[in-house]
Amino acid sequence: MSNTTTIQVRVNGVSRTEEVQPRLLLVHYLRDVLGLTGTHIGCETSLCGACTVMVDGAAVKSCTLLAVQTDGCEVETIESLATDDGLHPIQEAFWDCHGLQCGFCTPGMIMATRQLLQENPSPSEEEIRHGLEGNICRCTGYKHIVDAVKQAAEQMKAGT
């Protein structure tokens, strides 16, 4: 019953080849097989966004994807953002603006922000709130998250 399939995935720039059960969820593959535990699990119904990662440049909920569906894909997780030069501007902005409290939603929130700013480098407040509709934060009340996204947008525009 537990048949396996071989998949090849580039995760945070590193090629991985792995035998997995087809039913293995991407989030479990990342966390349990690769040890990338920055991607969190907050629900069972694809509604919290804590598990958000990028697959081929698009934000997805990794709890709602099979690892086998990403065979041949490029996956980026929260662990890929900071470099030797320091934090990514979005991470920096979340820190500056107190966009997190318990931090559990944060990796997903940051990945969702990344997608948002990719598509809309200068979002309005309303667009930010709308763009984060797939992510729940129970701690912050979102205001500081919105501030962080605004700051990150400014910074990233200045940086490019």
Ligand X SMILES: Cc1cc2nc3c(=O)[nH]c(=O)nc-3n(C[C@H](O)[C@H](O)[C@H](O)COP(=O)(O)OP(=O)(O)OC[C@H]3O[C@@H](n4cnc5c(N)ncnc54)[C@H](O)[C@@H]3O)c2cc1C
Please, which of residues 43-62 interact with ligand FES by CB under 6 A?
Answer: 43, 46-51, 61
Q: Minimum distance from CB of 109 to ligand X (Å)?
A: 16
Choices 10-18, 66-74, 150-158 (CB under 8 A): range interacting with other proteins: 66-74
- Give CA 41 to chain center in angstroms: 11
Q: Minimum distance from CB of 134 to other proteins (Å)?
A: 3
Per the CB < 8 A criterion, the answer to whether 79 and 88 are in contact is: no
Handedness of CA 58, 29, 45, 141 (dihedral sign): negative
Binding mask 121-150 for other proteins (x = CB under 8 A): ----x--xxxxxxxxxxxxxxxxxxx----
**152 contact choice in ligand X, ligand FES, other proteins, none (CB below 5 to 8 Å, kind-dependent):** none
Per the CB < 8 A criterion, the answer to whether 135 and 141 are in contact is: no
- Binding ligand X (rule: CB under 6 A), the pick from 12, 16, 42, 47 is 47
**34 contact choice in ligand X, ligand FES, other proteins, none (CB below 5 to 8 Å, kind-dependent):** none
Query: Residue 11 pairs with which residues in a beta bridge?
Result: 14, 75
Q: How far is CA 114 from CA 30, 34, 68, 89, 140, in A?
A: 19, 22, 24, 10, 19
- Strands, sheet with 5-11, edge to edge from the N-terminal-most edge strand: 14-20, 5-11, 74-76, 52-55, 58-61
- Binding ligand X (rule: CB under 6 A), the pick from 8, 46, 120, 122 is 46
Does 107 bind ligand FES (CB under 6 A)? Our answer is no
